[in-house]
Amino acid sequence: MHEVPSDADLVRQALGGRPAAYGDLARRWSPRILAACHAQTRCADAAEDLAQEALMRGMSALATLQEPGKFGAWLRGIARCVCLDWLKDRRRTEVPLSVVTGGDGEGPLPLDEGSEVVEDDEPDLARLMGEVERLPEAYRETLMLYYYGDMTYEELGDLLGLSAATVNMRLTKARSLLRAKLTKAGNRDEME
Amino acid sequence: MMDCREAIELIGARLAGRLEPPQDAALDAHLAACAACRRSASGQALFDGALRRAFTDRRRRAADVAERVAARVTDASSETPRMRSGGASHADFASIAPRTADFRGASSRWRMIPAAAGLAAGFLLAVILFPPWKKTNLTDVDNGGSQSWAIRSPNGGPGAIARLTLATGPIEVRLAAEAPWQPLPTGAVLPIGGRVRTGPEACCEFTTPDGSEVRLNRGTEIVAAAARQFELAAGQVYCTVAPDPTPFEVRTVSAAVTALGTQFDVSCRPAPPEPPNTSSTAVEASAQTCVTVVEGAARLGTAGGAQTVSAGESVCVSAGGAPIKTRVDDLVEATRWVHDLLVLKGRADPELKWRVDDLLARIGRSKMEHLHERDIRALGDRCVTPLCSYVGSTGAREDPHRVARAARMACDLAQPWNIPDLIGLLDHADGEIRSLAAAGLLRLTGETLGRPPDAWRAGDGVSCSAGSANWRNWWEENKDRYPASR
């Protein structure tokens, strides 16, 4: 299989004068940083701007990174700061699309008229994303990192400081919680 | 015999493709005997699939963010003389590091930094990268015929509605009611009121300043009524909608479709030619509008009321008639006309990968698998990298039949720029896959490096790894003889 350059390799290449390495780092880490921002803010739209901001700050400060092998954790730290700053700012007046178009801006889209919470059947994806944003923080971040970025358990474990078994447990529990929220069968199983 | 607690752990691990065959068999044995764990396994798999679909658009957004960052880094480097000369790029980026420190609440560090000459230049670069007075938004700027997009405030855009970004053939535009139709070149801007039509052999894609995409099928005619508002006179459009306070709407003669989510397909079948003196109302009544939602939801408004159409549903309505809602099991098939445009995009396009993955997922589950294979093959060499990625993934072990089909397609479709993908398959655990890859390499290079395709089928791990290493070395020495991409 192909030899994939590590984060440390790309950091060194970028600092060594290969500008394309910045783009490679951005492409590799954009899903993960967007996932982290989405999980922290619970706002998908804002998360895109914040992730872009965090990535730009990371790229611009790359020369200050002491250990290139810890690029991911370092960038995630920058993203957390960016999100915290956004969360502290109470003066925002952004209007979510769902409000303008008549939906419930805080919650998931309503079920179709006449329908009800279903047995174990395909969940409505918009409702599902709404429930993902309501998961407890630990489950929310793990699940978003996994599904945004197609990360392996080992990569997730390295980033979050968890064992692969804990990552597996969190993902399984998160899916169970979502199933309990969105289907009768899941709710019944979760109660048992 | 494993207990339920262990089984639940393995159910999660199986979804991630992490189970070894003995664990796999043990889990199956437990599930055969335990109804509760069977229900749990079914629910976990259902939600794993739903989550992957729910995050498809998010992954696309992440790719967009990455490209914007990459572009801005490149722009910044081109605006900084030292970076143009090469070799000193880190110095330029390092010089704006204080902004990050300031952001982290360490503004006092500003006072501690010596007033080095590079700081001023670095600060200017930081201002270029992080304009604090502007929200990042892609808005068209009319800069004297340039076709570039630039960063501007959301309310500063001129009357341009969209830009033609992709086309498979000639596209025509009419800028006023009586004006003649004229060719619309790729990269040109569509103004308010502009009417566009595709011919019988061309489809195209427009990108709006907010990042939404509007694709036109063959034989389609639309009018750019206003920002995020299009009138579909005839044909079919596929819209991928970026969030924005302004509603995104597609109107036809009999309905209005408003985005509540991200992706939907609208077709408008015009009424057949009517004899003279037929009223326009009668013509409208026989036209039919169909909306199919791929992701999220859309609101379909007609004279009789409005209803929400969810992902996986299709609703057709004629003026005066009752809407008919149907379930669409195969959204990729229902919207396969967009594939002609996707193959024009980069090989790493996430939507292309999503569609290949979806088609692959259906192979082995459906009696119509030859049709799904036909659709994948129609994508040409663009699908080779996603196919090889699937074949090499641990999750693919669950379905050897599907893996073999995917490998065969990849090896059949591979072009010279896919040689590294095929070399990667020479390390596969399945001898049949290795043999297919070697046959593909023989077709593309005329080489066997002393090991014909059949010999790869029976090799052991040691001899295969040595053989694949030979191929990697050969590629390093010969890659300049082959085109890097089409």
List chain A residues with CB under 8 Å of B74: 19, 23
B222 forms beta bridges with B196, B232
Distance, in Å, from the CA atom of B139 to the CA atom of A179, rounded to the nearest integer, reads: 41
Q: Are residues A148 and B52, on separate chains, in Cβ contact within 8 Å?
A: no
In the 3-class helix/strand/coil scheme, how is B259-294 assigned residue by residue? ECCCEEEEEEECCCCCCCCCCHHHHHHHCEEEEEEE
CA B463, B464, B470, B473: dihedral to nearest 10 degrees?
-140
- Nearest chain A Cα distance for residue B271, angstroms: 30
Q: Are residues A44 and B243, on separate chains, in Cβ contact within 8 Å?
A: yes
Q: Are residues A63 and B91, on separate chains, in Cβ contact within 8 Å?
A: yes
Distance, in Å, from the CA atom of B61 to the CA atom of B282, rounded to the nearest integer, reads: 43
Is pLDDT of A140 > 90?
A: yes
User: Residue for token digits 């009417």?
Assistant: B195
Q: Does B34 touch chain A if contact means CB atoms closer than 8 Å?
A: no
Nearest CB partner across the interface for B68, out of A17, A52, A62: A52
Q: Are A2 and B479 in contact (CB under 8 A)?
A: no
Q: Sorting pLDDT into bands at 50, 70 and 90, what band is A131?
A: very high
List chain A residues with CB under 8 Å of B135: 49
- Residue B262 corresponds to which amino acid? T
Q: Are residues B94 and A63, on separate chains, in Cβ contact within 8 Å?
A: yes
User: Tens of pLDDT along B295-344?
Assistant: 888 888 887 788 888 888 888 887 667 788 888 877 877 888 888 888 77
Cβ contacts from A onto B, under 8 A:
235
pLDDT of residue B365: 53
Which sign does the torsion angle of CA B257, B263, B264, B265 carry?
Answer: positive
Q: Mutate one of A18, A33, A48, A53 to test the B interface: name it (highest B CB count within 10 A).
A: A48
List chain A residues with CB under 8 Å of B310: 112, 124, 126
DSSP-assigned states of every residue in chain A: ---PPPHHHHHHHHHTT-THHHHHHHHHHHHHHHHHHHHHH--HHHHHHHHHHHHHHHHHTGGG-S-GGGHHHHHHHHHHHHHHHHHH--------HHHHTTS-SSSPPPPPTT---BSS-PPPHHHHHHHHHHS-HHHHHHHHHHHHH---HHHHHHHHT--HHHHHHHHHHHHHHHHHHHBHHHHHHHH-
Q: What b/e string do you get for A85-108 counting C-beta neighbours within 10 Å, with b at 16 or more?
A: ebeeeeeeeeebbbeebebeeeeb
- Nearest chain A Cα distance for residue B220, angstroms: 27
CA-based nearest residue in chain A for residue B128: A56
pLDDT of residue A185: 62
Q: Sorting pLDDT into bands at 50, 70 and 90, what band is A34?
A: very high
Question: ipTM score here?
Answer: 0.82
In terms of pLDDT, which residue wins out, B183 or A186? B183
User: Residue for token digits 């006449």?
Assistant: A114
Tokens at B94, concatenated: 């390092």
CA-based nearest residue in chain B for residue A11: B90
Nearest to B68 by CA among A49, A76, A14, A21: A49
DSSP-assigned states of every residue in B126-137: HHHH--TTS---
List chain B residues with CB under 8 Å of A172: 8-9, 11-12, 44
Distance, in Å, from the CA atom of B301 to the CA atom of B289, rounded to the nearest integer, reads: 11
* B residues 115-144 lying closer than 8 A (beta carbon) to A: 125-126, 129-130, 135-136
CA-based nearest residue in chain B for residue A57: B100
User: Tens of pLDDT along B294-307?
Assistant: 888 888 888 778 88
Q: Does B104 touch chain A if contact means CB atoms closer than 8 Å?
A: yes
Q: Are residues B100 and A19, on separate chains, in Cβ contact within 8 Å?
A: no
Q: Is B351 exposed, middle or buried (0-12, 13-18, 19+ CB in 10 A)?
A: buried
CA-based nearest residue in chain A for residue B65: A52
The values of phi and psi at residue B346, to 5°, are -65, 155
Distance, in Å, from the CA atom of A131 to the CA atom of A113, rounded to the nearest integer, reads: 20
Q: Are residues A61 and B65, on separate chains, in Cβ contact within 8 Å?
A: no
Nearest CB partner across the interface for A48, out of B65, B72, B88: B65
List chain B residues with CB under 8 Å of A19: 73-74, 77, 83, 89
A177 forms beta bridges with none
Nearest CB partner across the interface for B69, out of A26, A62, A144: A26
CA-based nearest residue in chain A for residue B49: A122
B173 forms beta bridges with B182, B196
Q: Are residues A61 and B94, on separate chains, in Cβ contact within 8 Å?
A: yes
CA-based nearest residue in chain A for residue B76: A60
pLDDT mean across residues, chain B: 74
Which sign does the torsion angle of CA A118, A120, A126, A129 carry?
Answer: positive
pLDDT of residue B95: 36
Nearest CB partner across the interface for A128, out of B54, B100, B299: B54
Nearest to B249 by CA among B226, B276, B278: B226
Q: Are residues A149 and B62, on separate chains, in Cβ contact within 8 Å?
A: yes
Tens of pLDDT along chain B (486 residues) come to: 688 888 888 998 888 888 888 888 888 889 888 888 888 888 888 888 889 888 988 888 898 898 888 888 766 655 444 333 333 333 344 333 333 333 333 333 333 333 333 333 333 434 444 443 333 332 232 333 333 322 222 333 346 889 888 888 889 999 888 888 998 888 888 888 899 999 888 999 999 888 889 999 999 999 999 888 999 998 999 999 888 788 899 998 888 898 886 778 887 776 555 544 544 444 444 568 888 988 888 888 887 788 888 888 888 887 667 788 888 877 877 888 888 888 777 556 777 777 777 776 665 555 455 666 777 777 777 778 778 877 877 665 667 777 888 888 888 888 888 898 899 889 888 888 899 999 999 988 888 998 999 889 887 666 788 888 999 999 988 887 777 654
Tally of CA atoms within 13 A in the half-sphere of B481 that contains its CB: 8
Distance, in Å, from the CA atom of A83 to the CA atom of A96, rounded to the nearest integer, reads: 18
Given 3-state DSSP classes, what are the helix, strand and coil percentages for chain B, each rounded to the nearest 5? 50, 20, 30
User: Residue for token digits 């994948």?
Assistant: B376
Q: What b/e string do you get for A2-15 counting C-beta neighbours within 10 Å, with b at 16 or more?
A: eeeeebeebbebbb
CA-based nearest residue in chain A for residue B94: A63
Q: Are residues B73 and A59, on separate chains, in Cβ contact within 8 Å?
A: yes
In terms of pLDDT, which residue wins out, A19 or B98? A19
CA-based nearest residue in chain B for residue A4: B424
Q: Mutate one of B59, B60, B73, B109 to test the A interface: name it (highest A CB count within 10 A).
A: B73
Distance, in Å, from the CA atom of A149 to the CA atom of B39, rounded to the nearest integer, reads: 28
Residues with Cβ within 8 Å of B192's Cβ and at least 6 positions away in sequence, in order, are B159, B160, B161, B224, B225, B226, B227
Nearest CB partner across the interface for A22, out of B44, B70, B243: B70
Distance, in Å, from the CA atom of A145 to the CA atom of A148, rounded to the nearest integer, reads: 5
Q: Are residues B69 and A55, on separate chains, in Cβ contact within 8 Å?
A: yes
Which sign does the torsion angle of CA B240, B246, B251, B257 carry?
Answer: positive
Q: Are residues A169 and B9, on separate chains, in Cβ contact within 8 Å?
A: yes
- Nearest chain B Cα distance for residue A48, angstroms: 7
- Residues of chain A with pLDDT > 90, as a percent, come to 32
- Nearest chain A Cα distance for residue B164, angstroms: 25
Q: Are residues B260 and A103, on separate chains, in Cβ contact within 8 Å?
A: yes
Instruction: State the helix-helix crossing angle for B400-413 and B369-378, rounded to 10 degrees.
Output: 30
- Nearest chain B Cα distance for residue A19, angstroms: 7
Distance, in Å, from the CA atom of A110 to the CA atom of A183, rounded to the nearest integer, reads: 15
Distance, in Å, from the CA atom of B410 to the CA atom of B428, rounded to the nearest integer, reads: 14
Q: Does B43 touch chain A if contact means CB atoms closer than 8 Å?
A: yes
CA-based nearest residue in chain B for residue A3: B424
- Nearest chain B Cα distance for residue A172, angstroms: 6
CA B243, B248, B250, B254: dihedral to nearest 10 degrees?
120
